Chains A and B, each alone.
Chain A
Amino acid sequence: MFRSTRLNIHSRKNSILLAGVVLFAALQFSGCQMTSADGGPPPPPPATATFLFCDKEAPSCDNETSFSTTSTRDLEVKVSWQNVPAGNHVQTLEILLPGGNLYQQTQMAFGVEQGSNEPLVAIQTLPVAGTWIQQRHMLGEWTARVSLDGEVVASQTVELTP
């Protein structure tokens, strides 16, 4: 179960564009290299992702790294994307058990508009209460691993405790 948040930044587009022009001019005068080694334009920065884990019922999410399986109903896995190129993409999120076996794998499609610089957050809810995680005491260091269009981009561990 996924939901995504994409903030509309079109109203801010002009100011971002202006800031970009100023930055470009400053870099030119400072003599920084704006070209790649072969003289072409610099390659776009690679897409990156960061994780945030939250107790869905908690009033706030403080980027905790450990959760109790006996008191957590749902664990939210939030993936924040940066530098994702324009176009349609598929995120694959793998939840790995301690030891590395695959617990769950989910896919989510999303689109990024040309020129968009909006934050992109994909949220998956991992049910805990009443699931095998709680009933079979699947405790220890779990791993969340996220791929973009089939390429692994980031992984992060999270501790599940009694």
Chain B
Amino acid sequence: MYREDPVNGIRRTRWRRWSGLVAMLLIAAPVIARETIVLQKSGTDPQARGADATLKQASPNNNNVGNTISVESKTNAIQNAIIEFDLSRIPNVGIKQATLTLHVTTPPAGNVTYGAYDVSDFWQSNTVTWNTRVATKAWTTPGGDAAGTATATANLTNASTTAQFNITTDVQNWYNGSPNYGTLIKDQAANDNRTTTFGAKAASNATSPELDVTFVQNVTGLTATPGNGSVTLNWTIPTLIGTAVPGESYTGVVILRRTGSPVDKNSFPTDTVVPALCSTLGSGTVVFVDATKQTTFTDNATNDTCASPGGAPVNGTTYFYKVFLRDSSNYYSYQPLAAGSGSTYTQEISATPAATVAAQQNTQWIAATFATDLASPSLIPGSVAAMGSQTNLLFFINAVTGTREFVPISLGGSIASRSPLIDAASSSTGQDIDYVTDQDGLIYAVNTDTGVIDWVTNPVTSGTVTLQGGPAVQLKSIAGGTNDQVFFGTRNTTTTTGNQIFALNGNTGANASWSPITGPISTTNNGLQNLDIINSTPLVDYVHNAVWVTSRSACGTSQPSLWEINPTTGAVQAIANLGDIDASPSLSFYSDVLFVATVGDSGGTTCTAGNSTIYAINPTTGATIASFVTSDGPIVSYPVVLGPAPPYTVIYSGATAVHALSIDTSRTTPVFVPVWNTTVANPSAPISYTGSQYVFVGSSDGMIHELMLTAGTDIKDEVCNIGATKGTVGDPSIDEVLSRIYVTTTDQRAYAFVFPF
């Protein structure tokens, strides 16, 4: 049985002929910031995630990718250039300035003015056209969806060799939670009949598009160690990844502190200004200001003499620290955006001091996700944690340090489920790969080492369909065959009968020979059966060569909600009419029992979720072995099954508590027996693993609760966020390699803790 288990260039600086003048300007004008880098395809920068194309109105369905991109304004023959850069070389920085330079290969016949617009929709260079942005998905506005106002304009003449656009605001937004779909270049005049051709990414390096970025890095290796009435922070001042602005160097940090919740995104020092110690910046108190390159600070009665809310840490109180790297001109590691837009990404950490070591707590890392995510992060244990967000972003976080592996990947829609992450040794792609579904109805395969989207597919070519549940992967390395297969179902709420189940080739995204199957579905022994919406992630059952899919069933039991599908043929081998199901199914350790839980709809014309019924199913026949009616609302996410052999322990979360059942399926007539229940406010799905003595569960109280498996005793909790911006904690993941738990929360962050607590 395999289920993706929660447990478990710097190019030379372009000193051109006017370098002397540039130097004079640098001296005369305020120094912008710290480091500069040129992002352009080169021997050392492949710009793997970079892309460009020309969108041509005259050939609206043709994909135009080549050595050049062009811009033209001509009646019925407009050409727009679309460009996206790979920013992965500068993943953890505050952007201070960004200039897009296009190199002219054929100048315009006369004067033109071009605008650079922030693109507002997902596109792929190998399929983008004037009409469509990816696969069969159309642009809302043919010629590219983009901001109404140009971020910057550039005037060109017949003698121009470059077009330069200051797109600083756009790039800052991309680092501040807005998706990066690149830049659209359009002629500002209508029908001027002038064309300019620029070098494209595929061209020689010298004429490929370039993005010159000035930035300040974040500190690295930030840790917080709690003590008795103290918290000690340690960090590393990073080495340069670009070229230092002349005369500048990183000189130290400014640290803000807040009690109970992270320092909010609108709290930061202003560039070029040194904040006073103990002053208040937004929701944070300045507790440390240094320009001597110190890499440690102990927040205690000696070093922190600020008045409340500063001052020596109090035992039992959780403190959040936000650490801004600064340079000698006092530029800080944040995005200086307009008031209210804030700057979310700056290194954060938290700790709870206590008199005893046992009572002390600390996060291993905190990472911004920019929007709510409550799915359990997916893992390559010991290496990478992946999580989505509902701002269309996909994050890959270094599991050890908590820093981004690269700038988050911008997808087409909200990501509302766990995305299975397969390591290269197990994947038929030979890559570390993440399969992701989104609410734009697209499914993606993303290389987790580079961030490159290997393929993206629009499985449903007509209508509007959301993919709510995540994909499940059947590995060739276990199941055989020619490639990994990726399974998922649709959430098309315009029908309760005609939803679809897909199987794609994990290497290419192509449909399997039988995919999709569409309701009403022909079944092996039960004729045509309607298929309602699918909210869950399927489950691959290697022992029975099956894929188990749960669905809703039009608020009743007149149509199936549990489906067993042969992954090779697509044949529906078994069904069960259990009533609406939103939770994914779970298998016992040796796949001899399948567990599913219904929403508990009351049925009839009023479809109202009630109390779940949990079923034990014989996966060979699909027959029910036993059932148990719960009394705590619908279960959350999925039941967890523990134990190598019967009797099994089934852990599930309801509305108000975490519950444990026992069932001995070796008996002739097995029954579920309640073992314990422990009150936890609005709990997440529980997580544990066979052999562990603990169960971990997130809560709307902003904490992760550690329960004893034997009796459910709530023995210790770790704080994510219990203050003013308290967030609901999502489904945890367990990394057995690092002994860490990862969660995401509604406070737009991901947290890592060591376990056991």
Residue A64 at the B interface, CB < 8 A? no
Q: Assign chain A's interface to a size class.
A: 35 or more
Q: Is the CB of B582 within 8 A of A130?
A: yes
Chain B residues near A102 (CB-CB < 8 A): 370-372, 390-391, 748
Instruction: Pick from A7-15, A23-31, A33-41, A131-139 the stretch touching chain B.
Output: A131-139
Q: Is the CB of B493 within 8 A of A101?
A: no
Instruction: Pick from B156-164, B710-718, B724-732 the stretch touching chain A.
Output: B724-732
Contact of B748 among A70, A101, A106, A108 (CB under 8 A): A101
Residue B313 at the A interface, CB < 8 A? no
Q: Is the CB of A109 within 8 A of B608?
A: no
| Closest Cβ neighbor of B371 among chain A residues | A102
Contact of B609 among A57, A87, A109, A134 (CB under 8 A): A134
CB proximity of B177 to chain A, nearest CB, Å: 8
Q: Is the CB of B416 within 8 A of A70?
A: no
Q: Is the CB of B468 within 8 A of A101?
A: no
Known: A73-B533, A130-B535. A110 touches B636 (CB 8 A): no
Contact of A107 among B121, B634, B726 (CB under 8 A): B121
Known: A108-B140, A137-B655. A90 touches B147 (CB 8 A): yes
Q: Is the CB of B414 within 8 A of A106?
A: yes
Residue A66 at the B interface, CB < 8 A? no
CB proximity of B17 to chain A, nearest CB, Å: 38
Q: Is the CB of B120 within 8 A of A136?
A: no
Q: Is the CB of A73 within 8 A of B493?
A: yes
Residue B52 at the A interface, CB < 8 A? no
Number of B positions contacting A (CB below 8 A): 59
Contact of B148 among A71, A87, A100, A129 (CB under 8 A): A87
Residue B552 at the A interface, CB < 8 A? yes
Chain B residues near A132 (CB-CB < 8 A): 372, 374, 416, 730
CB proximity of B341 to chain A, nearest CB, Å: 9
Residue B500 at the A interface, CB < 8 A? no
Q: Is the CB of B121 within 8 A of A109?
A: yes
Q: Is the CB of B728 within 8 A of A127?
A: no
A96-107 contact mask (Cβ, 8 Å, vs B): 1 or 0? 010111111111
List residues of B (530-569) whose CB comes within 8 Å of A's CBs.
Answer: 533, 535-536, 552
B128-145 contact mask (Cβ, 8 Å, vs A): 1 or 0? 000000000001110001
Residue B637 at the A interface, CB < 8 A? yes
Q: Is the CB of A149 within 8 A of B748?
A: no
Q: Is the CB of A101 within 8 A of B725?
A: yes
Residue A1 at the B interface, CB < 8 A? yes
A71-105 contact mask (Cβ, 8 Å, vs B): 1 or 0? 10110000000000001111000000101111111
Chain A residues near B634 (CB-CB < 8 A): 134-135
Residue B464 at the A interface, CB < 8 A? yes
A99 CA to B637 CA in the complex, in Å? Answer: 24
Chain A residues near B19 (CB-CB < 8 A): none
Q: Is the CB of A149 within 8 A of B466?
A: no
Residue B84 at the A interface, CB < 8 A? no
Residue B439 at the A interface, CB < 8 A? yes
List residues of B (439-471) whose CB comes within 8 Å of A's CBs.
Answer: 439-441, 464, 466, 468
B679-691 contact mask (Cβ, 8 Å, vs A): 1 or 0? 0001010000000
A129 CA to B491 CA in the complex, in Å? Answer: 10
| Closest Cβ neighbor of B373 among chain A residues | A132
CB proximity of A65 to chain B, nearest CB, Å: 20
Q: Is the CB of A97 within 8 A of B535?
A: no
Known: A56-B493, A71-B606, A110-B141. A89 touches B390 (CB 8 A): no
Known: A99-B725, A104-B390, A137-B682. A3 touches B746 (CB 8 A): no
Known: A57-B493, A104-B414, A109-B121. A135 touches B725 (CB 8 A): no
Most chain-A CB neighbours within 10 Å: which of B370, B533, B726?
Answer: B533
Q: Is the CB of A68 within 8 A of B608?
A: yes
Chain A residues near B747 (CB-CB < 8 A): 101
CB proximity of A73 to chain B, nearest CB, Å: 5
A107 CA to B145 CA in the complex, in Å? Answer: 10
CB proximity of A155 to chain B, nearest CB, Å: 13
Known: A1-B464, A136-B684. A127 touches B140 (CB 8 A): no
Chain B residues near A111 (CB-CB < 8 A): 140-141
8 shortest interchain CB distances as A-B pairs: A130-B535, A109-B145, A130-B582, A104-B390, A89-B148, A70-B609, A88-B148, A109-B120
